[in-house]
């Protein structure tokens, strides 16, 4: 998942699901940013506590550079061991 900002309220509704995924050994990756200093440090600390989540933080080189992507990629193995992929894409803003 790639999201520009993460708030505690946004993560709070996912905590139970994230714990279930951790218990099942399902791994995931989250990419977020320090852009506009919106992502809260306590959220990053909480997400870092999950052993199954790889957390990456993009730090824009300047204040004018942004990162406002919203993207979600899910892989699921079906009963016959085939893979099913689901992609959800939100907005993407690139500065000139």
Q: 16-31, pLDDT tens digit by residue?
A: 999 999 999 999 999 8
Asked if 72 and 87 count as a contact pair (C-beta separation under 8 A), the reply is yes
β-pairing, 70-77 with 28-33?
A: unpaired
In this prediction, residue 86 carries a pLDDT of 82
pTM above 0.85, yes or no: no
> What pLDDT, on the 0 to 100 scale, is given for residue 95?
52
Residue 72 to residues 45, 62, 63, 96, Cα–Cα distance (Å): 21, 26, 26, 25
Asked if the model's pLDDT at residue 52 lies above 90, the reply is: yes
Query: Would you say residue 96 has pLDDT above 50?
Result: no
The confidence score (pLDDT) of residue 29 equals 92
Average pLDDT over residues 51-73: 82
Asked if residue 49 has pLDDT above 90, the reply is: yes
3-state secondary structure of 60: coil
| Cα Rg, the chain, nearest whole Å | 15
């Amino acid at each position: 998942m790639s999201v520009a900002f993460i708030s505690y309220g946004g993560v709070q509704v996912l905590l139970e699901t994230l714990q279930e995924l951790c218990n099942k050994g399902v791994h995931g990756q989250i990419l977020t940013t320090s852009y506009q200093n919106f992502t809260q440090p306590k959220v990053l600390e909480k997400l870092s506590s999950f052993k199954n989540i790889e957390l990456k933080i993009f730090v824009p080189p300047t204040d004018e550079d942004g990162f406002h992507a919203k993207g979600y990629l899910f892989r699921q193995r079906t009963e016959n061991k085939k893979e099913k992929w689901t992609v959800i894409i939100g907005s993407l803003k690139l500065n000139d």
